[in-house]
Structure 1
Amino acid sequence: MSRLIVISNRVAAPTTSHSGAQGGLAVALSSALQEAGGIWFGWSGEVTEEFTGQLSFQRGEGYTTATVDLEEHDVEEYYDGYANRTLWPLFHYRIDLAEYERSFAGGYQRVNERLAETARPLIEPEDRIWIQDYHMFPLGEELRKRGCRNRMGFFLHIPWPPPRLLTTLPEARELLETLFAYDLVGFHTEEWLRSFEEGAVNILGATSDGETLSLNGRTVRMIASPIGIDAEDFTALAASPRARLSFRQMRDSAVGRDMIVGVDRLDYSKGLEERFLGYERFLQEHPEERKEVFLLQIAPPSRAAVETYQKIRTALDGLSGRINGAYADIDWVPLRYVNQGYPRDVLAGIYRAARIGLVTPLRDGLNLVAKEYVAAQDPEDPGVLILSRFAGAAEQLTEAVLVNPYSAEEISDAIALALKMPREERVARWQALNENIQREDVFWWLRRFTSALDTVEAMVD
């Protein structure tokens, strides 16, 4: 049986423990590889003085990780620069924040070439290759240049912008062309898929039949396949000893009040400023609910070297202080704002203790926090998920209370609605949400993509 070779920017150390505060994608890929078997290759997260391509191997449950260190200027140009100061804001529709520097683009290309050179000896002829996310658009093309003829897929975990935004990128044509090195390209939603299709047709002149794109003798198939969580595992996690402890701690600290929870990486795409303003609007419009509710916002910092992330942290520090200064009393703080991450089992208990899960990104490829919140709920007395219409997960989780995250009024109204929602309605909504999450889990996502990849013909010279 052929192995699955997953390549991504970062690689999570193989572990069977739930104590690590890993991101949703890392957990999903780890779960997928445990079932499929193979190799997970990528950057170690460590910096070396000189790039050598030396690999570090670690054996996990069902798969092996292979990581390589990068030079400091590689990280500055490829990761901090092109990936997170150019592509990330642009693909989240924030062209006002995108920075276009030739050195960034050059470093991005150089690192992808180095990663391709390092990964190539790991790949055997029958292996299937699955490259992940915006850090590695050109990697497939670089592997093809090095004689790789394997079935090769690419999956984008962030939105794909419409052509009118994509064309602000100086390398837009080249970026689109690199995706024709893949046999299969995946997106979380039909909307992102169609934006990619429209860009390939309008910018490159590719032809489309709705399922495949053709250009200069190469054909790439497109698929919309939303990622899931390991739902069974996360549901069990919510009943684990540490989860039960964190649940009791949160309930005790709430002192009978209803908790609203938000869990997001500190990022402008997550709509945290807008969320705080919506919560503030709720406090203004519903004085009777003051002291009956509080918002816990967990927001671990990320990409601290990027200036825009420093600005969002400063803005949130000021906004949270203003809200608490205006509304807090000697026995109540309306907003608990925490800048650190927590292990998954602790989060599961926190989710379960929350009457409302507030997930309001301005733009999101999918959002696994929304699914984790639902999976952690008590079936007999579940909380209510409030979800942004602009999160990819909104296409699946239609029984959530859907809101426009730019509207403080809508967020305020949704909080009021959720707090007053009868138990029967909460249970009915949760059952529909949970059914989807259990059915379309991470293994469904894995099988759907790899089955589609298996149906394409391996590349021939």
Structure 2
Amino acid sequence: MSRLIIVSNRVAPISEGGPAAGGLAVGVYDALKETGGMWFGWSGEVLSSTPPHIDVVERGPVTFATIGLVRRDYDQYYRGFSNATLWPAFHYRADLIQYDRHDFEGYCRVNAWLAQQLVPLLREDDVIWVHDYHLIPFAQALRAAGVKNRLGFFLHIPFPAPQVLLSVPPHRALVEALCSFDLLGFQTVPDLRAFCEYVVHEAGGQVEAGADKAPTLVHAFGRTLRAQAYPIGVYPDEIAQLAKAGTRGKPARTMKATLHERKLIMSVDRLDYSKGLVERFRAFERLLDQVPAYRNHVSFVQIAPPTRADMHAYQDIRLRLESESGRINGRFAELDWTPIRYIHRQYERQVLAALFRQSHVGYVTPLRDGMNLVAKEYVSAQDPDDPGVLVLSRFAGAAQELTGALIVNPIDIDGMADALAQGLAMPLAERRARYRDMIAQLRENNVSVWRDNFLRDLKDGEGTAKRRAPRAKAAAKRVEA
């Protein structure tokens, strides 16, 4: 049986019940636990000038192979092109893009260097699954080194519309690099459509929609590959067990005691400008303005763990949130009530699941997000007999699946305030019905389904591509809606 090789920018030190990890970390680690294999990537260490070396550690069926980055590589590859250029562009924030040609050169150089470190660890029949925007040129570098293994890529963030992607100067080089993979996976059909539209209208390629949910066939830059939407999931029953166990812990008991029977609105996000946190705070303020009866009867808890703290854009959003929460609390706070509890730290998964279970409303309103697993975790953590209500941005990938949520536009402050009021007042029968619809969807499309569908298509793709020759150009330009 062939090994699964996972490649990601960061290899997370995941432990059961440990600090909450992002969607990539949770999904990848759960995949490796079941299939066995290797997880390769950056260790998170930034070195001065010492030549990095690979550390290999085995934990049960999973081998972790990690390597540090020197300061210049970290600045150009990670802080520079990945997070100052690609992140804002892929989240539709062209106004925040910072581009430096030397950073792009560093981005490509580090991808080539990481590929060279992986090559000696590979076996002939390994299946390689590369993750996220940091590693777009990775397959191209492996192909240049002579690697012929099956290579798949999954993008955990949105793929922008062509007119947005054009704001990134080396956009064509990036898409050409993506086409060195055998299979491309996106979170949603709109992301897949955006990629296909770029291929057809900007790269002069062809796409052919797959029949019966098969991946789309893409002909571009002299290669034929496949692309499909694979919405990532969670393990809802495992999260439910974490939530029930967590309610007996001290953090959950303390929260319940300090609420004094007030209703709880709960949010958990990384501290990032794409999450719509400022708009979220203002919508809660609008709720207190419009419905005075909720004053001193509802508390809003926002947990926002730090991320990329050495980048100015993230320092700015932290200062804005501290200012907004202070201003709103100054307007409405009473001696026994603080409207917004803004917490800038990380908590364990079990604690977060328990807090989700205690809350009356889950508040997940990013301005743009690939999937947003917090929304799925919130639903999973609910008590089926007395579930809370999910208020969810239409610009989160999860909104296409969680139709039982109250879907909002995060730019519409009044609309979000109305949704909060609706959620807080929603009758039990309606809450139960919405929960049943969403939990059924989460169970049907859990993280194992995501993994199995992607790996099935990756392993089967070679034969499929050979069987399906390119058709006439007119037919080939169809894009699956």
Q: TM-score range by the shorter chain?
A: over 0.9
Pair 1:63-2:68 in alignment: no
Structure 2 distance, partners of 1:46, 1:401, is 41
**Is the contact between residue 246 and residue 252 of structure 2 (CA under 8 Å) also seen in structure 1?**
no
Pair 1:332-2:337 in alignment: yes
Pair 1:443-2:476 in alignment: no
Residue 397 of structure 1 aligns to a residue in which SS? Answer: coil
Q: Which aligned pairs between 1:23-422 and structure 2 lie closer than 5 A? A: 23-50=22-49, 52-210=51-209, 211-241=216-246, 244-422=249-427
Residue 200 of structure 2 aligns to a residue in which SS? Answer: helix
Residue 174 of structure 1 aligns to a residue in which SS? Answer: helix
Q: Quote the offset at 1:14 in angstroms.
A: 5.0
**Is the contact between residue 176 and residue 221 of structure 2 (CA under 8 Å) also seen in structure 1?**
no
Q: Which runs of 4+ in 1 moved over 6 A?
A: none
Residue 238 of structure 1 aligns to a residue in which SS? Answer: helix
Residue 121 of structure 1 aligns to a residue in which SS? Answer: helix
Q: Quote the offset at 1:237 in angstroms.
A: 1.0
- Deviation string 1:178-226 (CA, Å, 9 cap, x unpaired) is 1111110000100000001111111111111121110243111011011
1:181 maps to amino acid: S
Q: Quote the offset at 1:381 in angstroms.
A: 0.4
Tell me what 2:469 maps to.
Answer: none
Tell me what 1:12 maps to.
Answer: 12
Structure 2 distance, partners of 1:60, 1:278, is 45
Tell me what 1:432 maps to.
Answer: 437
Farther off after superposition, 377-386 or 21-30: 21-30
- Deviation string 1:126-155 (CA, Å, 9 cap, x unpaired) is 111000000000001100111111111000
Structure 1 distance, partners of 2:6, 2:177, is 18
**Is the contact between residue 207 and residue 213 of structure 1 (CA under 8 Å) also seen in structure 2?**
yes
Residue 112 of structure 2 aligns to a residue in which SS? Answer: helix
- Percent identity between the aligned chains? 47
**Is the contact between residue 84 and residue 98 of structure 2 (CA under 8 Å) also seen in structure 1?**
yes
2:178 maps to amino acid: L
Task: Give the aligned CA root-mean-square deviation in angstroms.
Answer: 1.4
Aligned length: 459
**Is the contact between residue 188 and residue 226 of structure 1 (CA under 8 Å) also seen in structure 2?**
yes
TM-score, normalising length from structure 1? 0.97
Structure 1's 275 and 421: CA in aligned 2 closer, same or farther, altered over 3 A?
same
Structure 1's 382 and 245: CA in aligned 2 closer, same or farther, altered over 3 A?
farther
Q: Quote the offset at 1:375 in angstroms.
A: 0.8
Structure 2 distance, partners of 1:420, 1:13, is 41
- Deviation string 1:330-375 (CA, Å, 9 cap, x unpaired) is 1111100000010101111111111000000000000000011111
- Deviation string 1:35-89 (CA, Å, 9 cap, x unpaired) is 1110000000002233645211122232111000110111111111111100000
**Is the contact between residue 51 and residue 69 of structure 1 (CA under 8 Å) also seen in structure 2?**
no
**Unaligned stretches of 5+ residues in structure 1:** none
Structure 1's 456 and 191: CA in aligned 2 closer, same or farther, altered over 3 A?
same
Residue 55 of structure 2 aligns to a residue in which SS? Answer: strand
1:296 maps to amino acid: V
Residue 8 of structure 2 aligns to a residue in which SS? Answer: strand
**Is the contact between residue 213 and residue 221 of structure 1 (CA under 8 Å) also seen in structure 2?**
yes
Farther off after superposition, 304-313 or 91-100: 304-313
Structure 2 distance, partners of 1:348, 1:144, is 42
Structure 1 distance, partners of 2:221, 2:106, is 27
Structure 1 distance, partners of 2:180, 2:14, is 30
Structure 1 distance, partners of 2:378, 2:220, is 42
1:450 maps to amino acid: L
Structure 1 distance, partners of 2:60, 2:265, is 36
- Deviation string 1:224-278 (CA, Å, 9 cap, x unpaired) is 0110112222121112257654332221111100000110000000000000111
**Is the contact between residue 28 and residue 229 of structure 1 (CA under 8 Å) also seen in structure 2?**
yes
Structure 1's 243 and 273: CA in aligned 2 closer, same or farther, altered over 3 A?
farther
Structure 1 distance, partners of 2:248, 2:56, is 32
1:138 maps to amino acid: P
Structure 1 distance, partners of 2:126, 2:23, is 25
Structure 1's 327 and 232: CA in aligned 2 closer, same or farther, altered over 3 A?
same
Structure 1 distance, partners of 2:217, 2:129, is 18
Structure 1 distance, partners of 2:385, 2:374, is 21
**Unaligned stretches of 5+ residues in structure 2:** 210-215, 467-481
**Is the contact between residue 51 and residue 71 of structure 1 (CA under 8 Å) also seen in structure 2?**
yes
Residue 432 of structure 1 aligns to a residue in which SS? Answer: helix
**Is the contact between residue 13 and residue 65 of structure 1 (CA under 8 Å) also seen in structure 2?**
no
**Is the contact between residue 19 and residue 346 of structure 2 (CA under 8 Å) also seen in structure 1?**
no
Residue 204 of structure 1 aligns to a residue in which SS? Answer: coil
Structure 1 distance, partners of 2:93, 2:165, is 11
Structure 2 distance, partners of 1:280, 1:418, is 16
Farther off after superposition, 192-201 or 212-221: 212-221
**Is the contact between residue 266 and residue 300 of structure 1 (CA under 8 Å) also seen in structure 2?**
yes
Residue 256 of structure 1 aligns to a residue in which SS? Answer: coil
Q: Quote the offset at 1:456 in angstroms.
A: 1.1
Structure 1 distance, partners of 2:191, 2:443, is 24
1:442 maps to amino acid: V
- Deviation string 1:405-427 (CA, Å, 9 cap, x unpaired) is 11111110001101110001001
TM-score, normalising length from structure 2? 0.93
1:175 maps to amino acid: L
